[in-house]
Structure 1
Amino acid sequence: MSQDTSAACPVTSVSTPLASGCPVSGNGYDAPPVPLGPDSLTWQLFGDWRGLLQGPWAGSMQNMHPQLGAAVEQHSIFFMERIPRLLRSLYPIGGVVFDGDRAPQTGAEVRDYHIGIKGVDGQGRRYSALNPDVFYWAHSTFFMGTILTAERFGDGLTEAQKRQLFDEHVTWYRMYGMSMRPVPETWEQFQEYWDHMCRNVLENNWAAREVLDLSSMPKHPSLQWIPDWLWKQHLRVLRPFAVWVTVGLYHPAVRELMGYGWTRRDEWLHRIFGRLVNLTFKALPKRRRFHPRARAGWDRAAGRIAVDAPLEHTPARNLPPLEHRGKPIHYCPEI
């Protein structure tokens, strides 16, 4: 994979403009693709609250990519507002799956959030968030996160279901209007891609390690009533547990890269924890199992709300600090 990429965005013709900013690249689409719908397995599995359990896994895996890690270190304010950023990001990311006919527009908006994210890392390597290899790597973690959540915290998956999810993740990725060049053609090729990335490309860098360090995680605005001393005690318990859950999801090569061990006992306990999560999750009312953006998609499909009802957006409590609002790179639309 090339690490020296141009910061410029290639321009091609697009029959239906979807969002301002960087046009789609040469292998993107010439017309909006057909989005996923309620008949897809991705709708069944992606967008429920169990996915939060693999949040540190997804964040750290993304940041281990050399270019993505550099971009986060130099451009992101994630570590000063971890919980709000995570929660507001779920809305547009979920919308790429659940927004129906508006999913390509949502995908283009997410893509365009990354236009200004480029630079040179500490080793002199140029990076761009719109490098197709980088953008697809981030998407691949969403896909693998869906599989891991189903396998570890759900009912499991058959090989046929994994193949179906792979095919659907290609359709899902088309919503961004990015080059399809990095996308493997088959499930088997994807497994080779994933193994190669984990063994040969990912790096143990500051941005990845910082995701796993919850010792200084700020309180969410809705939790300011909690005394500081109690919050610190909470983090002392949460930090090692969250890391343990995350390490259990890592590819063996990533565990070695990041310096973590994993025993048979760890594996057994991790599986037991996953079963408890699944049993607890099934006790929830079905509509309450999904994130609001996903729930709205299901409601439109079921006729509970109009198909053109306004899209669900993050509540104000999840917006970034005032001085950073209106900056798309923080997953905050211009307002």
Structure 2
Amino acid sequence: MEQHDPDPPPPPQGGILWDTAGDIRSLLALPAAFVLQVAHPAVGAGVDAYSVFRTDPWGRGTRSLASVLLWVYGGEAAAEEGRRLRRVHRDIRGTDAHGRRYHALDPAPYAWVHATGFPVSRRARRYFARPFTPEEDERFYAEWLRVGRILGIHDRDMPPTVAEFWPYYARTLAREIGPNAVVAELTDPRRTLPPPPGSRALRLLWPLLGPVLARSLGFLSVGLLPPEARAAIGLPWSARQERRLRRVAVLVRWTVPRLPERLRYLPAARRARAAARRP
């Protein structure tokens, strides 16, 4: 039986993920990745029954982002974060919309949650940054597999190369992925978002800001899905929406690379990158 080291190492400093995971542009791809994850019936059922994405989307989002950044920039803490996530998911089980029993740590859905990051990140880069070269694709995928080991995903449950990833991805889209109630909520531009905790001024302005944010999240959730994933889920996307996304992308692609590092990178990434440069 295949065994991993007790503490799999995080991706390398100076690698693809080191440069991209903490870039603020990565935030724009998160809604689409979440939609593609929950479009799997087992994942959608688990999120529907156990997640606080409805009642505490801000807390959930903050915790999820902190976890992702630990996988890449956390050093020795990355492996402990992987163990913590597995402990959190041990009791998540039930029956999906097709009447099939599921458990959050079942190899296929657990690997799918991680796998979605690869096609969605590549899609987002087509808009917001220079697309990866084929060689960078290979490096990115190899580093993403290393992150998977931190999460406890066995190599046998993820395709070992980019060439083998795409048939796996196509099969999963064809056999498993589809619409469900959670997807409908996440992509609904009229969804009601509770105000974030903290600022009283922000809460007062929330009747105006909340609907704008809901529309933006719905737009990015659908627009940054690869077209084949949108088709599998049954989400519409018009030429007019595509033109709008491309206009937004021009602004992001021009602005973000010109920002200083303290504004371009999220705090955890910025601290890790600064520490790595110290002699």
TM-score by length of 2: 0.90
Shift, 1:28, TM fit: 4.4
Q: Distance in 2 between matches of 1:266 and 1:224?
A: 34
Give the match for residue 191 of structure 2.
Answer: 215
The aligned amino acid for 1:262 is: W
Q: Is the 8 A contact 1:28 1:180 kept in 2?
A: no
Q: Is the 8 A contact 2:179 2:234 kept in 1?
A: no
Q: Distance in 1 between matches of 2:229 and 2:200?
A: 35
1:225 is aligned to 2:170: no
Q: Distance in 2 between matches of 1:241 and 1:102?
A: 33
Q: Is the 8 A contact 1:184 1:193 kept in 2?
A: yes
Bigger mean CA offset, 274-283 vs 249-258? 249-258
Matches within 5 A, 1:58-69: 58-69=33-44
Q: Is the 8 A contact 2:33 2:225 kept in 1?
A: no
Query: How far does the alpha carbon of each residue in 1:132-189 deviate from its partner, in whole angstroms, 9 at most, with x for none?
Result: 1111111112233332332221122112111111111111211123322221021011
Matches within 5 A, 1:164-203: 164-203=139-178
Residue number among 76, 87, 107 corresponding to 1:112 in the alignment: 87
Give the match for residue 314 of structure 1.
Answer: none
Q: CA RMSD in A?
A: 2.2
Q: Is the 8 A contact 1:64 1:205 kept in 2?
A: yes
Q: Distance in 2 between matches of 1:34 and 1:69?
A: 30
Between the aligned residues of both structures, percent identity stands at: 30
Q: Distance in 2 between matches of 1:271 and 1:91?
A: 29
1:288 is aligned to 2:269: no
Structure 1 unaligned spans of 5+: 1-25, 305-335
The aligned amino acid for 1:222 is: G
Q: Is the 8 A contact 2:94 2:103 kept in 1?
A: yes
- Specify the SS of the correspondent of 2:155: coil
Matches within 5 A, 1:1-40: 27-40=2-15
The aligned amino acid for 1:221 is: P
Q: Distance in 2 between matches of 1:183 and 1:257?
A: 21
Bigger mean CA offset, 205-214 vs 263-272? 263-272
- Specify the SS of the correspondent of 1:221: coil
Shift, 1:227, TM fit: 5.1
Shift, 1:107, TM fit: 1.8
Query: How far does the alpha carbon of each residue in 1:73-125 deviate from its partner, in whole angstroms, 9 at most, with x for none?
Result: 11111210112210122112210111123322222222222111112234421
Q: 1:111 to 1:289 in 2, by over 3 A?
A: farther
Give the match for residue 113 of structure 2.
Answer: 138
Q: Is the 8 A contact 1:33 1:104 kept in 2?
A: yes
- Segments ≥4 residues shifted beyond 6 Å: none
1:50 is aligned to 2:25: yes
Quick check: which one's helix share is greater?
2
- Specify the SS of the correspondent of 1:96: helix
Q: Is the 8 A contact 1:28 1:174 kept in 2?
A: no
Give the match for residue 250 of structure 1.
Answer: 225
Q: Is the 8 A contact 1:54 1:149 kept in 2?
A: yes
- Specify the SS of the correspondent of 1:36: coil
Q: Distance in 2 between matches of 1:64 and 1:70?
A: 9
Bigger mean CA offset, 61-70 vs 271-280? 271-280
Q: Is the 8 A contact 1:132 1:181 kept in 2?
A: no
The aligned amino acid for 1:271 is: R
Shift, 1:45, TM fit: 1.0
Query: How far does the alpha carbon of each residue in 1:7-28 deviate from its partner, in whole angstroms, 9 at most, with x for none?
Result: xxxxxxxxxxxxxxxxxxx544
- Specify the SS of the correspondent of 1:219: coil
